[in-house]
Structure 1
Amino acid sequence: MNTKNLSYGRQWIDDDDIAEVAKVLKGDWLTQGPTVAAFERSLADYAGVKHAVTFVNGTAALHGAMAAAGLGPGDRLLTTPMTFAATSNSALYVGAEPVFADIEPGTLCLDPVKAEAKLREVEEAKEGRVRAVAPVSFGGYPFAMEPFRRLSSEHGLVLIEDACHALGGDRGGHKIGFDADMTVLSFHPVKHITTAEGGAVLTRSDEYAHALRLFRSHGITRNPEDFEEAPEGPWHCEMQTLGWNYRLTDLNCALGLSQMRRLDAFVKRRREIAALYRELLADVRGLTLPPAHEGHAYHLFPIQVDAEARGPLFAHLAENDIRLQVHYSPVPLHPYYKKRFGYRWGDFPEAERYYRGAISLPMFPLLEDSDVKRVADCIKTFLGRGS
């Protein structure tokens, strides 16, 4: 038996990455130094936006985006149930409440028609004001942004794309990160590039960028142009709002800056792996492949099988040293959300249908074609038993 262990994702660190981090370790700045600004400039230039503001992780970046958008008590964030809990949790962190609309089965992303219906339902019930909408590019799929731009424009919403799965993807001839008022990224080790832990918010807005930078650094500014009071000396700084210590270090940013040089190659390889999966699994009975898109970034490659087959298939793959994950349990159906907000099974039929049969296959650039074939053969062997 091939005993090479496979998981759904892993980082790729090379000697150049290590050398760049070592260079910072030998330098003067371990944090709050020039490598942070260089990494932020690289991200912003790549996406074609004016600003990138880095954070210690993607969750902190989401928290910062919600705060910069002005969400607070009495406000609502409209988002998808099919995402990691951090998307909606970030609204709770600022005192707002998330509300959910179901997904489109063809994209696995927030359904814009159902999102608009949910927005009108909240407005008519006078259950607070929906102040922002946060669609998620689930798995790296670049959903159509136009319906959400229209919805945001008509209802005065801040449009926040959770693109933590989608760095390097393309939409309408430009890179993910260009379309929304704010776009949130994650640099966890299983993502397209890694800083070990880290995140960022991309924006074209000077106002949002300023708010984000204050928020990640205790609400303190040392920029004389922003002072509200006359400086007492060159040491002067001001805490102007309540912020957090969410700064990313120069060490993390050195790794990220090095990884950015290979981002397009990483995404290219992910797309090649996806194409090979599609070829090998195209005719397998009882299996649904994820939605395809030429701009897909393929953070995930989630297949769907019959609900009763999911658990046994998961176990079969584990027995063959293929240890995978399910992305995700619908957020509002976690115990916390059910107890606090009263959600229950049956509220989100499309998200629930997807979840009950979902398994995320290995998807990372270090995968070899032989690894992909091994995974596909294992799935076909198992599903063939029941055909």
Structure 2
Amino acid sequence: MSFIPFAKVSMAGKEIQFIQEVLDSGWLTTSVKTRTFEEQFADYVGVKYACAVNSCTAALHLALEAIGIGPGDQVIVPTMTFTATAEVIRYLGGHPVFTDVEYGTCLMTPEILEKAINDHPAAKAVVLVHYGGQPALMNTPGGEGIADLCLKHQIRLIEDAAHAFPARFGDRFIGSFGDATCFSFYANKPITTGEGGLIATNLEFICKRAKVMRLHGIDRDCWDRFTSQKPAWEYDVIAPGFKYNMPDVNAAIGLAQLEKAETFRQQRQRCAMFYMKELSNIPVIDLPVCIGPPEKHAWHLFPIVIKPDAPVSRNDYIALMTQKGIGTSVHYKPLHRMSFYHDFYRLDLSDFPNAERIWQGTVSLPVYPELADHELQYIVDTVKSILMPA
């Protein structure tokens, strides 16, 4: 058995064709392919506007900047996430307010958010993470979902959907609920552009601001200047912006990947459902909780939690899996444990009991379309041999 990596890039089939079209055009940076990718992605998730950038971190940064987050502003974020979710708040001089998450889903729930809003009434925004590809509870008939609460309290909602394409809540894709939703197209994400990200929104002012700020704060992008009848050198800098634009080479990969997004999702679901069935009888682990129909989950991650009474620790388990030729990963060491946030904000571990419980035992198994049935079976057999020794 060859080594089974934790993640693997999936190819949709037309990547080389679309990249060749970019090379033949003679224009490699942001132009026609990027605009086409933005239009097709916006149409896919059901929003009016999209702004492609070079990472989800850039997308989060620009989205928060566009809604006016600045020095001293408080923004509510879950502790169980990648550092980018919080660091972009610090870029703008704001302060992340960390919340615990629900055990089993690793999601911020409406109850958790309500408490955070009550404890921090000055908070101006929420960055909601759809952990692992599972949508959080966005709307309810009684108006008690996360989007409902943000509307009720007049707090801006930015969604971190780095894991959650193409995921759905009800009959709508994630991307169409908050003020803006930020996606990741990093190499190991549900679809990839190599490196890349995107802001999806129904608010024109957010997209307009993001498109200016992604390219130095210039009021006309390179393609506009190249194709306009005005001189290419004639432009204005209306704000000190950034260098966050997505080149056409990356967008070409994204266009190919977009065609197979649902096929890829179905294959990841196949892996997840196999794990759910085959690992359900192991008493020393907790499986992830799927709160909606599995076909609405993006299944970017399949995190299990190894309980304290398991025969091996989480770290020893990872080492043993590696010895057996299986890659794993950890998602995540919570941000309240990271030295900068812990020390700067004087955070208390006891304020995050669910995240602490998750962190002590969490480990993610491989989930990607290319995993063959015999590889999935080998992974399951290996997990059982380590956690249920004879």
Q: Which TM-score applies when normalising by structure 2?
A: 0.92
Task: Name the SS of the counterpart of 1:304 in structure 2.
Answer: strand
Task: Name the SS of the counterpart of 1:323 in structure 2.
Answer: coil
Residues 304/106 of structure 1: CA separation in 2 closer, same or farther (3 Å cut):
closer
Q: What do residues 144-198 of structure 1 show as CA deviations (whole Å, max 9, x unaligned)?
A: 1122222212222111111100001111112111111100000011111110000
Match of 1:33 among 31, 34, 50: 31
Do 2:329 and 2:363's aligned partners in 1 also have CA atoms closer than 8 Å?
yes
Q: Give 1:143's aligned residue.
A: 136
Task: Name the SS of the counterpart of 1:145 in structure 2.
Answer: coil
Q: What do residues 200-222 of structure 1 show as CA deviations (whole Å, max 9, x unaligned)?
A: 01001111111111110111112
Return the alpha-carbon distance in structure 2 between the equivalents of residues 345 and 105 of structure 1.
16
Amino acid at match of 1:183: T
Match of 1:370 among 368, 374, 383: 374
Task: Name the SS of the counterpart of 1:321 in structure 2.
Answer: coil
Residues 272/22 of structure 1: CA separation in 2 closer, same or farther (3 Å cut):
same
Return the alpha-carbon distance in structure 1 between the equivalents of residues 205 and 68 of structure 2.
12
Amino acid at match of 1:28: G
Do 2:109 and 2:136's aligned partners in 1 also have CA atoms closer than 8 Å?
no
Amino acid at match of 2:49: H
Alignment of 1:88-127 (within 5 A): 88-123=86-121
Residues 251/344 of structure 1: CA separation in 2 closer, same or farther (3 Å cut):
same
1:336 aligns with 2:334: no
Q: Give 2:245's aligned residue.
A: 247
Task: Name the SS of the counterpart of 1:373 in structure 2.
Answer: helix
Return the alpha-carbon distance in structure 2 between the equivalents of residues 46 and 14 of structure 1.
17
Identify unmatched segments of 5+ residues in structure 2. Answer: 140-144, 222-228
Do 1:193 and 1:256's aligned partners in 2 also have CA atoms closer than 8 Å?
yes
Give the Å deviation of 1:115: 1.9
Identify unmatched segments of 5+ residues in structure 1. Answer: 124-128, 224-230
Give the Å deviation of 1:323: 1.9
Return the alpha-carbon distance in structure 1 between the equivalents of residues 113 and 297 of structure 2.
22
Return the alpha-carbon distance in structure 2 between the equivalents of residues 8 and 355 of structure 1.
19
Return the alpha-carbon distance in structure 2 between the equivalents of residues 249 and 297 of structure 1.
26
Q: Give 1:83's aligned residue.
A: 81
Q: Give 2:297's aligned residue.
A: 296
Question: % of aligned pairs identical?
Answer: 34
Amino acid at match of 1:275: M
Return the alpha-carbon distance in structure 1 between the equivalents of residues 173 and 115 of structure 2.
29
Q: Give 2:323's aligned residue.
A: 319
Do 1:190 and 1:364's aligned partners in 2 also have CA atoms closer than 8 Å?
no
Return the alpha-carbon distance in structure 2 between the equivalents of residues 262 and 16 of structure 1.
10
Task: Name the SS of the counterpart of 1:360 in structure 2.
Answer: strand
Do 1:102 and 1:115's aligned partners in 2 also have CA atoms closer than 8 Å?
no
Task: Name the SS of the counterpart of 1:52 in structure 2.
Answer: strand
Task: Name the SS of the counterpart of 2:18 in structure 1.
Answer: helix
Return the alpha-carbon distance in structure 2 between the equivalents of residues 340 and 371 of structure 1.
44
Alignment of 1:191-340 (within 5 A): 191-222=189-220, 235-292=233-290, 293-294=292-293, 295-307=296-308, 309-340=313-344
Q: Give 2:362's aligned residue.
A: 358
Give aligned pairs, total.
Answer: 372
Q: Give 1:228's aligned residue.
A: none
Do 2:110 and 2:137's aligned partners in 1 also have CA atoms closer than 8 Å?
no
Give the Å deviation of 1:234: 6.6
Give the Å deviation of 1:232: 9.1
Do 1:102 and 1:111's aligned partners in 2 also have CA atoms closer than 8 Å?
no
Q: Give 1:173's aligned residue.
A: 171
Q: Give 1:126's aligned residue.
A: none
Do 1:55 and 1:198's aligned partners in 2 also have CA atoms closer than 8 Å?
yes
Q: Which TM-score applies when normalising by structure 1?
A: 0.93
Residues 232/278 of structure 1: CA separation in 2 closer, same or farther (3 Å cut):
closer
Return the alpha-carbon distance in structure 2 between the equivalents of residues 177 and 370 of structure 1.
35
